[in-house]
Amino acid sequence: MEADVPSLHELFGPDAISEETRQVNDALKAQIAAAPQPDSLDAARHAFATGASGIPVSPQSSRARSQTLSTAAGDIGVRVLVPEVVRGIYLHIHGGGWVLGANDMWDDMLESLVRNAGLACMSVAYRLAPEHPFPAARDDCVAAATWLVENAEREFGTSCLLIGGESAGAHLAALTLLRLRDAGLGKPFKAANLMYGCFDLGLTPSLRMAAETPVIDRAGTERFIAAFSGGADPDHPALSPLYADLRDLPPALFSVGTLDPLLDDSLFMHMRWQAAGNPSELAVYPGGVHGFNCLTGQLAEAANAKAEAFLKAFAP
């Protein structure tokens, strides 16, 4: 038995949050409070892209290149980073509430996977809501994943595929795996790295209770969901993977902080993933807010290192 691994209830105890994490969270709250509130969608996108919304934006990598994939669903833009020796390919789907963000904002994290895990990384420039509501973003991610299934060996010298994302990206990654499985194309994807995803668009209890929490809260998330769903039923399994048939999916790592309004999404999805017969790991980080792995400090470092080790284990 691993005596140094805390039990789940200990992770939520009053003394579980380190002083460093408290300081990181306080600095984040102060930055958010001092930032002007966006008065338009364009302003909100600019704030997210520049880090003014609280989540830092990584510098762009000189290694990264833009590429356009020609798919049956149309042209899909991707951002690609490739190591000298490719052990596997990580299909990355960025976060931003399906409304914000771009695939060129995560280079530091992807560079680390290139350097430490030997993974080529491909991040998808999927269409954003509300201009392009469901199923546009999902279909773009499925098209990119299908392109990899068909072309990875020729383009990168390996057919070992991995997938993952953060927040809305984790949600889209889960939807992508379901579509691939149903099309008979899911087997090449060996593992899924799903960080603090929104898996129940009808709102889990932790999100229902979230008011004025850092980065996201209930009101803001409901606006994102409304923009993404475009009038479709948010409880339908096609939109909320928590309610889908989850059989025959790859091993997954679910990572989430205890202060994240989407905490229950990861707790519930981890258990349903296992109940469907799939291997699943759950990593819960005391004091982690939404997007905590993009912040400074040991908590972020631990979460990113665990995700890298998880993915690396599936790349030969």
pLDDT of residue 14: 78
pLDDT, position 2: 43
Backbone angles phi, psi at 279, to 5 degrees: -65, 140
Break the chain into its structural domains and give their ranges.
Answer: 43-312
Q: What is the dihedral of CA 96, 100, 105, 109, to 10 degrees?
A: 10
Q: Active site residue: 53, 167, 240, 255, which one?
A: 167
- Locate 41 and state its tokens: 């969608």
pLDDT in tens, 82-135: 999 999 999 999 999 999 999 999 999 999 999 999 999 999 999 999 999 999
What the block records as the tokens of 163 is: 């997938």
Phi-psi region at 147: left, alpha or beta (left = phi > 0; alpha = psi -120 to 50): alpha
Positive or negative torsion for Cα 228, 232, 235, 236: negative
Using the structure block, give the residue that is written with the tokens 């052990």.
Answer: 87
Asked if residue 133 has a cis previous peptide bond (ω within 30° of 0), the answer is no
Whether 9 is catalytic? no
The string over 269-300, giving b where at least 16 C-beta atoms fall within 10 Å of a residue's C-beta and e elsewhere, is bbebbeeeebebebbbbbbbbbbbbbbebebb
pLDDT by residue (tens digit) across 262-285?
999 999 999 999 999 999 999 999
User: Of these residues, 92, 94, 171, 290, which one is catalytic?
Assistant: 290
Instruction: Identify whether the C-beta of residue 311 lies closer than 8 Å to the C-beta of residue 161.
Output: no
Tokens coding 284: 């819960």
Helix axes of 168-182 and 136-156: crossing angle, nearest 10 degrees: 70
Arithmetic mean of pLDDT, 18-31: 96
* Per annotation, catalytic residue among 200, 260, 264, 265: 260
- Using DSSP, state whether 225 is helix, strand or coil: helix
Cα separation values, 300 from 6, 20, 197, Å: 18, 11, 16
Q: How confident is the model at residue 30 (pLDDT cuts 50, 70, 90)?
A: very high
Residue-averaged pLDDT of the chain = 95
* Single-letter code of the amino acid located at 243: Y
Residue 75: is its pLDDT beyond 50? Answer: yes
Q: How much is the pLDDT for 4?
A: 59
Could you read off the pLDDT of 179-218 as tens digits, one per residue? Answer: 999 999 999 999 999 999 999 999 999 999 999 899 999 9
Residue 260 is a catalytic residue: yes
Is 104 a known active-site residue? Answer: no
Does the 43-312 domain belong in CATH 3.40.50.10490? no
